[in-house]
Structures are given as C-alpha cells and as structure tokens.
Chains A and B, each alone.
Chain A
Amino acid sequence: EAGVTQFPSHSVIEKGQTVTLRCDPISGHDNLYWYRRVMGKEIKFLLHFVKESKQDESGMPNNRFLAERTGGTYSTLKVQPAELEDSGVYFCASSRLAGGIDTQYFGPGTRLTVL
C-alpha cells in the first residue's frame, strides 16, 4: 500500500509569490489533514477534510491560505501571497475511519522557504 505522498519536497519562493502544495492521501482514506511545523516548534493543525468537505479549518492562519480537495482524492494547499512567516514544513496526513479518532499517517512534508 502506497503511503501519503506530497509534492514538492522543497519550495523556495520570494515574498509575495504564490505556491501550491499537493498531497495524495492513502487510497481509500476519507480523512485528510494539513499540519505545519514552524522553526522547530510543535506540529500545528491547519485543517481537516472528510472526503471533499472541509470539516474544520480553525487552524488556518489567515485568508492567504486556501485548501481544496476536489473529488475527495488529492488535496492542494495554496498560499497567496506568501509572507516570510509562512516558512516551515507542511505535512499532510490521512486516516481511514470517519466518526472517531484513527491512526493518522503522515507524508514526508513540503519544506517551504519564503525569502
């Protein structure tokens, strides 16, 4: 079974530019999560999809961040325009069961650097 994959692995952009991160969850996993780790701090929750629906986006920093999951398969996270404080590692995770906490499987992350 293939794991969670993320693309790109690294992205270096200038302040004001736009970046789109992609996540492909494990096949059959309805739940998809985005997390972010900034500068050696804790991994912070950004948002949660169940299939194509956003269940909780309480962790999204501001309206410069837009996440989508069209068709309930892969997801994209767009940052527009990027700011310096957006630098960090963005992780995607997926889990199988709805209606209860289940093991979350993480992807390798995308390291975003905003200059």
Chain B
Amino acid sequence: GENVEQHPSTLSVQEGDSAVIKCTYSDSASNYFPWYKQELGKGPQLIIDIRSNVGEKKDQRIAVTLNKTAKHFSLHITETQPEDSAVYFCAASIGDYKLSFGAGTTVTVRA
C-alpha cells in the first residue's frame, strides 16, 4: 500500500522566516496531494492541494511543489506569522478516494 513519509516532525521558525515541510510517497499511481492544517481543538482543514499534472501551485503565502519522478512534494510557507503555528499533514491519494497521510509536522512560529 501507499506509504507517506513526512519531515521534519517538528519545526520552529522565527516570525517572518519561511517554513518548508517535505513528504515522499511510494505509490507511483498517486495523483492527488492535499495538505491539511490542524489547529488545537479542531479537525484538519485543507489549505492547498496539487494534482499530478501540475508541478507547482501557489496561494498567497503558501506554495506546494511536486516532483513525480522523485515521488516527493513539499509545502512552503513564506513570511510566517504566529497564526501559522499548527500541525501540518501531507497526504497522497490511493485509488479514487482514499488518502494516505504523513505523521504530521508541528510548526511553531516564534514572535
């Protein structure tokens, strides 16, 4: 089955700096890669996603890159703010509906 590895497990950055989270996946048939943000006491919320026919996607301070050949994808957050502090999960699709998740990255933005 699909195996998604996510690194790092924790990340502390100074406010205003960039944060990068990296994920690798094993199933070459995966074609959908969402990123979720989970704040304390809430469920995971989709922040950005990318499909396999695209190499990069941006939404304001958030960008995701995908390298299908190497089977890895990354989340980039620029100009980090305190409200970016949360647990971030990457995921890769399995078939038409299942998602396989990484173990999560706890991001702390220091003021």
Residues of A within 8 A of B (CB): 4, 6, 31, 33, 35, 40-45, 48, 55-56, 91, 95, 99-101, 103-109
Among all A-B residue pairs, the 4 with the closest Cβ atoms: A106-B43, A43-B101, A108-B43, A42-B103
Which residue of the partner chain, among A31, A42, A107, contacts B97 with CB atoms under 8 Å? A31
Assess A91 versus B103: contact at CB under 8 Å? Given A100-B96, A101-B97: no
Q: B96 to A101, Cβ gap below 8 A?
A: yes
Q: How far is the CA of A105 from the CA of B99 in the complex (A)?
A: 12
Interface set, chain B 12-60, CB cutoff 8 A to A = 31-32, 34, 36, 41-46, 49
Besides the contacts A43-B101, A104-B46, what 18 more A-B pairs have beta carbons closer than 8 Å?
A: A4-B43, A42-B89, A42-B101, A43-B91, A45-B94, A45-B100, A48-B98, A91-B43, A100-B96, A101-B32, A101-B97, A103-B34, A106-B43, A106-B44, A108-B41, A108-B42, A108-B43, A109-B43
Known: A101-B32, A106-B36, A109-B43. A41 touches B103 (CB 8 A): yes
Chain B: how many interface residues by the 8 Å CB criterion? 26
Please indicate the chain A residues that have their CB under 8 angstroms from the CB of B44 in the complex: 43, 91, 106
> How many A-B pairs with Cβ below 8 Å?
57
Interface: B93 (CB within 8 A): yes
Residues of B within 8 A of A104 (CB): 34, 46, 99
> A103 contacts B104, CB within 8 Å?
no
Contact B4 A42 (CB under 8 A): yes
Interface residues of B (CB under 8 A from A): 4, 6, 31-32, 34, 36, 41-46, 49, 89, 91, 93-94, 96-104
Sample 10 A-B pairs with CB under 8 A, ordered by A number.
Answer: A4-B43, A40-B104, A42-B89, A42-B100, A42-B104, A55-B97, A100-B96, A101-B96, A103-B49, A108-B41
A residues in contact with B91, CB < 8 Å: 43
CA A109 to CA B98, docked complex, whole Å: 18
CA–CA, A17 to B3, complex, Å?
33
What residues of B have a CB within 8 angstroms of the CB of A55 in the complex?
A: 97
